[in-house]
């Protein structure tokens, strides 16, 4: 049912004013595509990605994103998608793990390095490591072990050592090489 009007402002059937963010929509760019969210402005980005857009690569990483599995890039900065309500993201450019590969499907060098180093166990944590790793390599093209160990991502399958090797392989430009 179309909302009624109260003094020119749309209202819901139970007479609450429809929030401005819903009336006008929240425009976001995700992996190069433009979307307008017209649902609950407080919906966390993680649920918008997974439940609305079916971009299920980004995983739930705890109520505060503590294990890093829900990292995405907002602009150039890695952030926990569960902590970001859509209303804060109007006009933002967001990159998820699905957006790391090139348009022709070629993997990002860090994705390839994860394969080369067999750094993927069950895979649950992998999207978060990739986002954190891409950010790290941008900030520190030749990261040390200490730099990598400062990432707050965790892996319950015990892949940290191989993740470290993968990040270093990508840094060395050896992704895809024997
Ligand atoms: S690969 Fe399983 S949690 Fe990291």
Domain count, the chain: 2
Query: Is residue 169 predicted with pLDDT exceeding 80?
Result: yes
Positions of E strands within the chain: 4-6, 9-11, 26-30, 33-37, 71-74, 77-80, 93-95
pLDDT band at 54 (very low <50, low <70, confident <90, very high): very high
- In this structure, are 95 and 118 located in the same domain? no
Residue 156: the pLDDT is 95
pLDDT at 159 over 70: yes
125 lines ligand 1 (CB under 6 A): yes
Q: Average pLDDT, whole number, for the chain?
A: 93
Give CA–CA dist 156/152, Å, rounded: 13
Rg of the chain, C-alpha, whole Å = 19
23: CATH: 3.10.20.30
Task: List the domain range (segments joined by +) for residue 133.
Answer: 109-171
pLDDT band at 23 (very low <50, low <70, confident <90, very high): confident
Residue 7's pLDDT is: 67
Task: State which ligand 1 atom lies nearest to the alpha carbon of 158.
Answer: 4
Same domain, 32 and 92: yes
150 and 116 share a domain? yes
Residue of 97, 155, 158 to mutate, ligand 1, most atoms within 8 A of C-beta: 155
Residue 2 lies in a domain: no
């Amino acid at each position: 049912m179309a909302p009624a009007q109260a003094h020119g402002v749309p209202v819901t059937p139970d007479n609450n004013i429809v929030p401005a963010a819903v009336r006008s929509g929240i425009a976001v760019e995700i992996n190069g595509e433009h979307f307008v969210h017209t649902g609950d402005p407080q919906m966390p980005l993680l649920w918008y990605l997974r439940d609305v857009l079916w971009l299920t690569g980004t995983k739930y990483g705890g109520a505060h994103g503590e294990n890093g599995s829900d990292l995405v890039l907002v602009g150039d900065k890695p952030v926990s998608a569960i902590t970001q309500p859509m209303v804060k993201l109007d006009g933002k450019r967001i990159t998820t793990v699905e957006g790391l590969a090139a348009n022709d499907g070629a993997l990002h060098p860090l994705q390839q390095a994860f394969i080369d180093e067999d750094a993927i166990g069950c895979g649950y944590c992998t999207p978060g490591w990739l986002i954190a790793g891409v950010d790290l390599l941008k900030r520190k093209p030749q990261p040390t072990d200490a730099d990598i160990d400062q990432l707050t991502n965790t892996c319950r399958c015990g892949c940290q050592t191989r993740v470290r090797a993968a990040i270093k392989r990508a840094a060395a430009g050896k992704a895809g090489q024997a």
